[in-house]
Amino acid sequence: MASARGKTGDASNEVYLLEAKNITKKFGEFTANDNVSIALKAGEIHALLGENGAGKSTLVKMMYGSLQPTSGTLFWNGEQVEINNPSMARDLGIGMVFQHFSLFESLNVVENIILAIPEEDDIAALAVKIEKVSAQYGLPLEPYAVVADLSVGERQRIEIVRCLLQEPRLLIMDEPTAVLTPQEAEQLFITLRKLTAEGVAILYISHRLEEVRKLCHDATILRRGIVVDNVDPQQETAQSLAQLMVGEAIHKIEARSAKKLGKTLLKTQNLNLKSGLQFGVDLIDINLDVRAGEVLAIAGIAGNGQSELFDALSGETRVSKKSTIQLNGVDCGTRGIRFRRKCEAAFAPEERLGHGAVPSFKLSENVILTRHDSDDDLVRYGFMDGKLMKAIAARITKKRDVRVSKTDPEAESLSGGNLQKFIVGRELDRAPKVLIVNQPTWGVDAGAAAMIRQALINCAGRNAAVLVISQDLDEIFELADRIAVISRGQLSKSFAVEDMTFEKVGLLMAGAHEKALPADNDAADNDAADVEVEDNGAPV
């Protein structure tokens, strides 16, 4: 592992594998990439850093042929090329692993891969190839497993193997570790280092700076479509990289000083819930409690029951027993979200547009969306108070520094970070006793994320019980007083943040706490074995 890591051998190669020179991409008036140049060497892991909207995706889409530059040129091995579509990119030897997988859940691994390789038609032969490649690069994969049964990490392996079968010379990876446990991520790094040792170049998009610092040989930083710097990440600190990305010092989060906990305000007792959806996750025996003044954070990889848990807590799905869920001392398992809001609970879901807010509604109308019942004055005799709606929207906009282009804009016109500030602000404005937030800073820029996290901590400081469900481990450790982990619909015990480490969370993410279920016995056993193997990796 260590041998593949040095910068030996690649300095001699003067011709770049892929070089983009003065690339500009405009969408109408908006310039997504402005005179961007970047050069990738064979055998190197090159990080592409930047906040959301900095232009990273635009740039890699041009390299992969899904977008065409407005001006500027691409060079492949020193020769000028035009990449008109992804299949041309693949023919050159460029592969890409997307953040969101394009897999058919009801098909198995080989079937999914054969769909992407039109010239291949022999399933059995391909299965052998898949086994060979996956063994070679340490990507264990069962060719005939159905995708729906696989973990996110395994699904990502399918995407990677699919690329590797075409023997790429450049592999573009978009936020590959966002969906992995720390152990799985470590496993992936081994694979990536093996690939670079064979001379493959990797363009690595991530916002996890520690990981970039450890893994990458070179880093190009984009800010608002412009290359602001090109650095050796191993010579930088996470702090200095963040500052380059954001362009200003990031507001440091202040922890609360006094921690006097009050009564338990949020409690579930043996919460069991069958998911109605085909690939949904059943919740199994979830017990949690949050006391006034503390933040309980629930970690876990996406798709392990987080949204099901959120819906059960918010009352969008109800359970059959009243006492299963207790909010602010009131049993409300069977009651809907309106009743629960009246118990002074507030909720902010993961999906901002189309769940937390109606996209085409103005902010003032979106105030009504969650507060029509709980705020006495907003709706009287069935009629809405237009003035008050606007006043509340203005108050939230001001207090949470929501940047708007005009007064009272439509929700869909706001950037992700600004809309999230508004949605969280809308709930905080009620001064709730219980606050439940799912993925509070998912896809939010660093500045906004820091503000939102601070607001959540302050909310607990005002003696509310705060439950944060998040995939972002940094966020979890920043916010939490106690941490619990959800995997496959089962919630671990909670541990004080002082007693938790990334490795411990990682083991729990992989299901170390899961009780073996009668029907699922094999899978659970396999997972436990996996964890032991993967645990050899160095701590992140």
Partner 1 sequence: MKIILEKRAQQSKIMAYASPVLAIGLTVILGGIIFALAGYDPQTALYYYFVEPLTNFWSIEEVIVKATPLILIGAGLAICFSANIWNIGAEGQLTMGALVGSFIPVMFTDWQSPLVLLLMLVMGAMGGAAWAGLVAFLKNKFNVNEILTSLMLVYVAQYILDWFVRGPWRDPNGYNFPKSVSFEGWQLLPTYGDGRMHIGALIALIVVVLLTIMMTRSLKGFEIRAIGNSRRAGAFAGFSYKGMTWFCFLLSGALAGLAGIMEVAGPAGQLLPSISPGYGFTAIIVAFLGRLNPMGVLLAGILLAISYLGGDGAQMELGVSVKTAQVFQGMLLFLILTFDTLIRYKVKIIRSQTAEGELT
- Element (DSSP H or E) covering residue 291: strand 283-291
User: Do residues 137 and 190 touch, judged by C-beta distance below 8 A?
Assistant: no
8: number of Cβ within 10 Å = 11
Amino acid at 503: E
CA distance 52 to 540: 23
- Binding-site size for partner 1 (CB under 8 A) equals 44
Among 81, 107, 116, 516, the residue binding partner 1 under the rule CB under 8 A is 116
Contact status: 85 vs partner 1 (CB under 8 A)? yes
Query: Does residue 443 interact with partner 1 by CB under 8 A?
Result: no
Closest approach of Cβ 393 to partner 1, in Å?
A: 14
Q: Per CB under 8 A, does 98 bind partner 1?
A: yes
Examine residue 368 and tell whether it contacts partner 1 (CB under 8 A): yes
Window 285 to 304, contacts with partner 1 (CB under 8 A)? none
Q: Does 358 bind partner 1 (CB under 8 A)?
A: yes
Q: Is 330 in the site for partner 1 (CB under 8 A)?
A: no
Q: Which of 195, 127, 121, 206 has its CA nearest to residue 160?
A: 195
Kind and range of the H or E run holding 495: strand 495-496
CA dist 523 and 272 (Å) reads 20
CB of residue 205 vs partner 1: minimum separation in angstroms? 14
Q: Tell me which residues in 34-53 interact with partner 1 (CB under 8 A).
A: none
* Residue 41: HSE in the Cβ half-sphere, 13 Å Cα cutoff: 18
Stretch that binds partner 1, among 123-131, 257-265, 382-390, 483-491 (CB under 8 A): 382-390
Contact between 411 and 442 under an 8 Å Cβ cutoff? The reply is no
The tokens of 477 are what? 């450790």
Assess contact for 314 and 491: CB atoms under 8 A. Answer: no
| Pick 86 or 199: Cβ nearer partner 1 | 86
Identity of the residue, 66 or 269, whose beta carbon is nearer to partner 1 in the bound complex: 66
Q: How far is the CB of 179 from partner 1 (least distance, A)?
A: 14
- Please report where in the chains the tokens 């496993």 appear, as a residue: 187
Q: What are the tokens at 131?
A: 């086994």
Stretch that binds partner 1, among 282-290, 326-334, 383-391, 424-432 (CB under 8 A): 383-391
**What number of CA atoms fall less than 13 Å from residue 337's CA on the CB side?**
19
Q: Which is nearer to partner 1, 75 or 361 (CB)?
A: 361
Count Cβ neighbours within 10 Å for each residue of 246-277 and write b for 16 or more, e otherwise: beeeeeeeeeeeeeeeeeebbbbbebebebee
Does 71 participate in binding partner 1 (rule CB under 8 A)? no
User: Which among 6-14, 214-222, 348-356, 468-476 is the span making contact with partner 1, rule CB under 8 A?
Assistant: 348-356
384 forms part of the interface with partner 1 (CB under 8 A): yes
Q: Give the nearest distance from C-beta 516 to partner 1 in angstroms.
A: 34
Is residue 379 involved in binding partner 1 (CB under 8 A)?
yes
CB of 419 to partner 1, least distance (A): 13
DSSP state of 538: P
Q: Does 205 bind partner 1 (CB under 8 A)?
A: no
194: exposed, middle or buried (Cβ count in 10 Å: 0-12, 13-18, 19+):
middle
User: 97 or 288, CB closer to partner 1?
Assistant: 97
Pairing of strands 226-231, 218-223: antiparallel
Binding site for partner 1 (CB under 8 A): 64-66, 84-87, 90, 96, 98, 100-102, 115-116, 314-316, 336-338, 341, 347, 349, 351, 354-361, 365, 368-370, 372-373, 379, 382-384, 386
